[in-house]
A and B are shown apart, each in its own frame.
Chain A
Amino acid sequence: MRPYTSCLRGICRIGAALCLALLAQPLAAAELKLAATHTLHDSGLLNTLIPAFEAASGIKVRLAIGGTGQVIRLAANGDVDAVLSHVKAQEEKLVTSGAGLKRYLVAFNDFFIAGPPQDPARIRGIKDAVEAMRRIHDAKARFVSRGDESGTHVKERELWRAAGLEPKWPGYLSAGAGMGSVLMMAGEMQAYTLCDRATFAAFHARTGLEILAAGDPRLYNEYGVVAANPARFPGINAAAAAKFVAWLTSAEAQRLIAGFRIGGQQVFFLPPTAR
């Protein structure tokens, strides 16, 4: 009987130690909860920025990745310390509603319409994004929409509205997924999609899609950061959030952002004031 009980006791001890270790982890003091949009993560930029920030500050970053709708919601509920996204209006609403402190412009790039090399709707080289969308609609070509209330989806809907069209035909597919997944789907189905430059470059080799209609000034994409307001949410790590915002707008981070390359191409550009 003896050996069994001592064995059992040993197992209990290991179990208790494991539980303690698991419990202790989230209590680590220097930790920043950051919500960021798919595009930033899928492009690989965060994989460059976050380790650099962690090394510079000693603060560990815990990332929540989602569409803009989701990350803004996380910030509005005080579930994260800071949020990085790319819909200016929604970020500013965070600030005016008192959930966030101030919005800082971090970087920008652009959207364009990507599609299969065969280009059934003949949009190659068209600068006017609204005209390109109209041709896709008229050709009843396949188009994969993000459909997830993300910044990209919001931009896409603006284009349909500007064209005065209702995106409803059998080939219009609302995927409800991140940019990377939507690009993979569009590649599989040889469909068009509205895409940001960074994610496109990261997925280019795997999808076989091409940039067909780019250069419309309406398709500028601004990335902003907002720290949560400690007066509203006392539980948040305001010090870490402030450090992160300050670091992101510092010369070091801006150098990393401008130097970030995918397939030899610059995909994030610095805001005019920071250059």
Chain B
Amino acid sequence: MDILASTRQAFALLFSGDAELWTIIWISMRVSLIALAAATPPAVVLGYALAHKRFPGRRILVVLIQGLLSFPTVVVGLVLYILLTRQGPLGSWQLLFTQEAMIMGQAVIAFPVLAAFALAAVQGADPRVHETAVSLGASPLRAAITTLLEVRFAVVAGVFNGFGRVISEVGCAMMVGGNIAGVTRNMPTAIALETSKGDFAQGIALGVVLMLFALGISIALGLLQGRGGLK
């Protein structure tokens, strides 16, 4: 009975354009998209290099990235907190409990996902693509771009997966963001808070939005892969 009432309230909140709720959704989107935009280029370059180049320490890096895939986000939060605290080495930046700190954390969390997907994508590419590009006189950069364009669906799948990981991440966001209303309160931290207040309606509303996001991502991925297969 309580659940039903809370759920009804939740949908009322969602459709009434509740400012607080939409601020939380906006902050979530903003932080996660900026973090992905920052992490994707270096991660894709690293993934490509690991797939294509032979250099000392390459295997160690590959193992490291695959290990980082399941790295606990609270540890990322802990390390970032220690770096950013007033007494920490980066304390003078005064970034603790800001969106910038959350963006840094999410970029670190998304990085291994993006790199691992790019690595697998390039490794799975038809080697003739690269060879043909080179034989047609393409520079190494041009050949790299051609290869990455060829496997763009797999790389984009990595971006979606990275987004899925950071948009729903609560540990690091809570620790370095501080869950400040209207500033660093995103969907996961808000849900945790509403539950701790015993106020379930807003938690359910945000949970619905998060699940719609997850569903949307999976539909988008499906569409992408479908078209990738057709080509």
Contact = CB atoms under 8 A, between A and B. Distances in A.
B193 A148 contact: yes
A27 to B, nearest CB: 26
Nearest to B91: A188
Interface string B162-180: 0000000000000000111
A177 B86 CA distance: 20
Contacts of A174: 180-182
Interface in B180-215: 180-183, 185, 189-190, 193, 195-199
Given A148-B193, A176-B185, A69 B198 contact: yes
A73 B198 contact: yes
Contact of B198 (A149, A188, A189): A149
Q: Interface residue tally of chain B, by bracket?
A: 20 to 34
Which of A66, A74, A77, A177 is packed against the most chain B CB atoms within 10 Å? A177
Interface in A31-78: 66-67, 69-70, 72-74, 77
B197 A149 contact: yes
A175 B197 contact: no
A183 B21 CA distance: 26
B193 A188 contact: no
B43 interface: no
Interface of B: 2, 85-86, 96-97, 178-183, 185, 189-190, 193, 195-199
17 contacts: A67-B196, A67-B197, A77-B2, A147-B193, A148-B193, A149-B198, A149-B199, A173-B178, A175-B180, A175-B181, A176-B193, A176-B197, A177-B178, A177-B193, A185-B97, A188-B85, A188-B96
Given A77-B2, A173-B183, A175-B179, 14 more contacts: A66-B196, A66-B198, A67-B196, A70-B196, A148-B196, A148-B197, A149-B198, A173-B178, A174-B180, A176-B180, A176-B197, A177-B178, A188-B97, A189-B97
